[in-house]
Amino acid sequence: MNVRRSRAPRAVAVVGLAGVLVAMPWIHATIPGVFSSSLNSPGTLNLLALCFVFGGLALTYDLLFGFTGLLSFGHALYFATGVYTTAIALSRWHWTLWHALLLTAAVSVLLPLALGAICLRTRGIPFAMVTLAFAQAGSILVMQNPFGLTGGEEGLALGADALPAPLVGVVNTHNLYWVALAFLAFTYAVGWWVVHSPPGRVWQAIRENEGRVEVLGLNPYRYKLLAFVVSSLLASAAGVVYLLLQGGANPEVTTASFTLALLVMVVLGGVGTLWGAVLGGIIYQYLDFRLVALAGAPALQGLPSVLRLPLSEPLFILGALFVALVLFFPGGLGGVAKRA
């Protein structure tokens, strides 16, 4: 009875927050210092949608790293798979969105299944290096622009006629916002379900001690491959939503530094906590956007150079915050909440 009572306020808070997020396009209010315009403005809705995408993407990486203990340096490859496969099908081959999504879903299952079968023959640092090698190969392939498909360094833009009308234009930003919010809710629901399922329990056992799992008569390789495919498929779905928000593909999403950013998001939010990973992804993306604006603020120009130069570099501030969090709050934001 007491457990039900303790969960009731939490459930009410979650439902209330969900209601506010869904109604955001109708809320004409401002939060000074947090957003530069009203909550329902296209700029704010686009920023929030990107935060949702990266929150869900961080959760997909946490399934692999936080719950299964697999340190991958190539997770960006599967995010880029969602971005580029959909973009090529829409822009180069002029497919409909639904046909492009079916192709992306098929590629997003077969590619991690094939590469994961190879990478998971190794463990630890060799596994991380093999995943990095495949990711670098994918990045080089995109930059080489094979058959003129990827656009190389210039990327690949979507034309106005490549998408359904409700997803095109600034006036339809609220629709894209709802798509990103739905993606985050779906990803969290899938993540919660798989983590609390029997395979999810085995993932966590593998993270703690893979040898004991083998002693119990289970095959860790199969369970790790399942985690690899599930997390990669969800990451590709994040790539599709990101493509819709950005209106094109950018080769930056194929780089190894992109995967390192995901690692920072997960550690920031709390390794092995679903909501912590989501929170870490949202905060990282928000800070990455806002600190760029802060770097050019007139208030910084009057500071001494010893302060002005580092504060004008967003990555320096993000790095300093990350180091401080790791030193003083090793469990991330999720760990802080648990202790509280």
179-188 pLDDT, tens per residue? 999 999 999 9
Q: Is the pLDDT of residue 126 over 60?
A: yes
3-state secondary structure 93-162: CCCCHHHHHHHHHHHHHHHHHHHHHHHCCCCHHHHHHHHHHHHHHHHHHHHHCHHHCCCHHHCEECCCCC
* Cα distance between residue 97 and residue 205, in whole Å: 40
Q: In the structure encoding, which two tokens stand for residue 269, read together? A: 């939010």
Q: Is the pLDDT of residue 4 over 60?
A: no
Structure confidence at residue 338 as a pLDDT band (50, 70, 90):
low
Longest dimension (CA), the chain: 66
Give the residue-averaged pLDDT of 233-262: 92
How far from 313 is each of 139, 141, 257, 297, 308, CA to CA, in Å?
Answer: 26, 31, 17, 12, 9
Q: Is the pLDDT of residue 306 over 70?
A: no
Structure confidence at residue 135 as a pLDDT band (50, 70, 90):
very high
As a dihedral over the C-alpha atoms of residue 244, residue 246, residue 247, residue 251, rounded to 10 degrees, the angle is -110
Cα angle for residues 18, 19, 24 (degrees, 5° grid): 100
Q: Where would I find the H helices in 196-304?
A: 198-208, 210-215, 220-246, 256-269, 274-295
Collapsed DSSP state (helix, strand, coil) of residue 304: coil
Cα angle for residues 138, 140, 145 (degrees, 5° grid): 100
Beta bridge partners of 249: 156
Q: Is the pLDDT of residue 6 over 70?
A: no
Collapsed DSSP state (helix, strand, coil) of residue 248: strand
Cα angle for residues 120, 59, 151 (degrees, 5° grid): 75
Give the residue-averaged pLDDT of 179-206: 95
* Cα distance between residue 270 and residue 173, in whole Å: 31
Q: Give me the percent of the chain exceeding a pLDDT of 90.
A: 56
CB count in 10 Å sphere of residue 103: 16
Per-residue confidence (pLDDT) for residue 110, from 0 to 100? 97
Structure confidence at residue 103 as a pLDDT band (50, 70, 90):
very high
HSE-CB at 34 with a 13 A cutoff on CA atoms is 8
Per-residue confidence (pLDDT) for residue 294, from 0 to 100? 67
Average pLDDT, the chain: 88
Q: Is the pLDDT of residue 221 over 60?
A: yes
Chain position carrying tokens 């570099």: 313
Lowest mean pLDDT among 130-134, 223-227, 315-319: 315-319
* Cα distance between residue 22 and residue 24, in whole Å: 6
* Cα distance between residue 264 and residue 150, in whole Å: 28
**H or E segment at 24?**
none
Q: In the structure encoding, which two tokens stand for residue 194, read together? A: 């798989």
Helix, strand, coil share of the chain (percent; to 5): 75, 0, 20
Domain parsing of the chain, residue ranges: 48-257
Are 78 and 138 a contacting pair, CB within 8 Å?
no
Phi, psi of 248 (to 5 degrees): 175, 170
Collapsed DSSP state (helix, strand, coil) of residue 296: coil
The more confident residue out of 165 and 185 is 185
Collapsed DSSP state (helix, strand, coil) of residue 249: strand
Looking at residue 51, the DSSP 8-state letter turns out to be: H
Q: Is the pLDDT of residue 89 over 90?
A: yes
Give the residue-averaged pLDDT of 49-64: 96
